[in-house]
Amino acid sequence: MILLAVMVMSSVTQTSFTSYSETIDDQSEPTDDLRPVLIIGDDINYPPYSFIDDNGQPAGFSIELIHAAADAMNYRVEYQLNKWNDVRNALEEDEIDAISGMFYSEEREELYSFTTPHSICNRRCF
């Protein structure tokens, strides 16, 4: 079964960026190589939720939330930020374990298992 961290928010902007993958460990504690690794995919250009910061590191609200949850469960996290379609394809091909941040829909629920949303945003069309 495919696991997803769900964020209900406005639509995803797709841009033509190259993919990015980075493993982030808490540097204040010794690294335990025996900890299991979660590979989490997200959009490479969706600030403030997921993006590459000025230091070339994955950053954003979704990244910090996943990192905190993984630390609490004693997991290491590898983030793979990419174009949205490529992230979804990676999940469907079992190349990543989960996606952080996806709109819920009944159609998607047939393919994916969703967690409880952590953010609710209203959409506006002008």
Percentage helix, strand, coil, to 5, in the chain?
Answer: 20, 30, 50
Gyration radius (Cα) of the chain, Å: 14
Q: What is the pLDDT of residue 40?
A: 97
- What pTM, to 2 d.p., does this model score? 0.70
Q: What is the pLDDT of residue 15?
A: 29
Quickly list DSSP for 17-78. PPPEEEEE--TTS---TTS-EEEEEEETEETTTEEE-TTS-EESHHHHHHHHHHHHTT-EEE
User: Which of 18-33 are b and which e, b meaning 16 or more Cβ less than 10 Å from the residue's Cβ?
Assistant: eebeeebbeeeeeeee
Q: Return averaged pLDDT per consecutive 10 residues of the chain, 126 residues in all.
A: 36 36 54 84 95 96 94 95 96 95 90 86 68
Q: Could you tell me how far CA 48 lies from the centroid of its own chain?
A: 12
Q: Which residue has the tokens 């964020």?
A: 7
Domains of the chain: 3-26+35-114 (3.40.190.10)
Q: What is the pLDDT of residue 41?
A: 97
Q: Could you tell me how far CA 103 lies from the centroid of its own chain?
A: 12
Q: What is the pLDDT of residue 71?
A: 94
